[in-house]
Amino acid sequence: MVSLDRIKNKPPVSLQLVFFDGEESFEEWTPSDSLYGSRHLAERMANTPHPAGSTHTTMLQAVDLFVLLDLLGGSDPLIVNHFDNTARWFDRLIAAEKRLHRQGLLTSHPSEQTYFRKDVYLGPVQDDHIPFLHKGVPVLHVIATPFPRFWHTLDDTEENMHRPTVVNLTKIMAVFLAEYLGF
């Protein structure tokens, strides 16, 4: 649950969705040949003043939490925490999954904690969050690791999505979002 201190001392949090163009390179993955859209957006937000009356000076400083959803939809994804400074939010995903499982609201979900695992560390993944992370934005990277076997193949289609997992993750994210926004 969101603390009362957070509600009293911070301006209201709004939800903004950004769809990136993908992180692939044109030739070989390097810091300059990758992440074109996210690098551009992070730089633009860092140089765009926040509207008058705000406690933030730039649009980037107003980002409370950057949540990146990626490679989700395959059956039995393993999703781990990648950053210590957002571990409390990852813990909220774990709690939401457990609570929904106990309430019988998740299907094809064999145990209380199936997707979100705090006891495994695989290291950070290079993705569209990197330019924001480098500018000090807190990042919660929700990505299936290892990557689904059909990722970036001809089998990377809707037919290979595991519908119960997609529905379950949608429910978990809805609970997380409601709690984050203080509903």
Q: Give per-residue pLDDT as tens, 136-167.
A: 999 999 999 888 888 888 988 899 899 999 99
20 within some domain: no
Q: Give per-residue pLDDT as tens, 56-74.
A: 789 999 899 999 999 998 9
Segment (H or E) for 141: strand 139-143
Left if phi > 0, otherwise alpha if psi is -120 to 50, otherwise beta: which for 25?
beta
43 within some domain: no
Residue 76 is among the residues annotated as catalytic for this protein: no
Gap between the Cα atoms of 44 and 168, Å rounded: 35
Using the predicted structure, report yes or no on whether residue 1 has a pLDDT greater than 60.
no
CATH at 134: 3.40.630.10
Using the predicted structure, report yes or no on whether residue 22 has a pLDDT greater than 80.
no
Gap between the Cα atoms of 38 and 13, Å rounded: 22
* Catalytic residue (choose from 5, 21, 23, 43): 23
Per-residue confidence band for 4, with pLDDT thresholds at 50, 70 and 90: very low
Q: Give per-residue pLDDT as tens, 83-95.
A: 999 999 999 999 9
Using the predicted structure, report yes or no on whether residue 46 has a pLDDT greater than 70.
yes
37 within some domain: no
* Catalytic residue (choose from 70, 97, 127, 128): 70
Residue 112 is among the residues annotated as catalytic for this protein: no
Residue 7: predicted pLDDT: 47
Q: What 3-state class would DSSP assign to 35? A: coil
**Mean pLDDT computed over every residue of the chain:** 88
As for how many domains the chain has, the answer is 1
130 within some domain: yes
148 within some domain: yes
Overall pTM > 0.85: yes
What percent helix, strand, coil does the chain show, rounded to 5? 35, 10, 55
